[in-house]
Amino acid sequence: MKKNGIINSELTRVIAEMGHKDSLVLADCGLPIPQAIERIDLSLTKGYPEFLKILRATLDDLVVEKAILAAEIKEQSPELEEKIIALLPDIEVEYIPHEEFKRKINNSRAVVRSGEIIPYANIILISGVDF
């Protein structure tokens, strides 16, 4: 049994397999996930588990050099955006249109589906290296 960190075996495996510049998507419960991309479905009910809790746990386990958000989060969910940015103090953040965000998912290692129902509670994490 793992002593610390993420205990979901699928998510732990994906994080351990990621290399520099690989991407991992954390998503709300409504984001369309392409059939060809691995889905790690953590959702249980609407609102649970929360996107931010999954993001915090993932940031504790994954070296992240860049994050990508949908530009629409600024107007549609500014409080969530503020909380996300607070968790990424030394990480570059890029904003792109939501339609482009959905296309970028196709290049990701996996999509982690939360139960979140806040609009645009989605992020692409680009892995870095710790050396």
User: Which of 20, 21, 56, 103 is the catalytic position?
Assistant: 20
Q: 92-108: string of b/e by CB count within 10 Å (b at 16+)?
A: eeeebebeebbeebeeb
Active site residue 98: no
- Quick count: other Cβ atoms within 10 Å of Cβ 55? 22
SS3 123: strand
Token pair recorded at residue 74: 């600024």
User: Catalytic residue numbers?
Assistant: 20
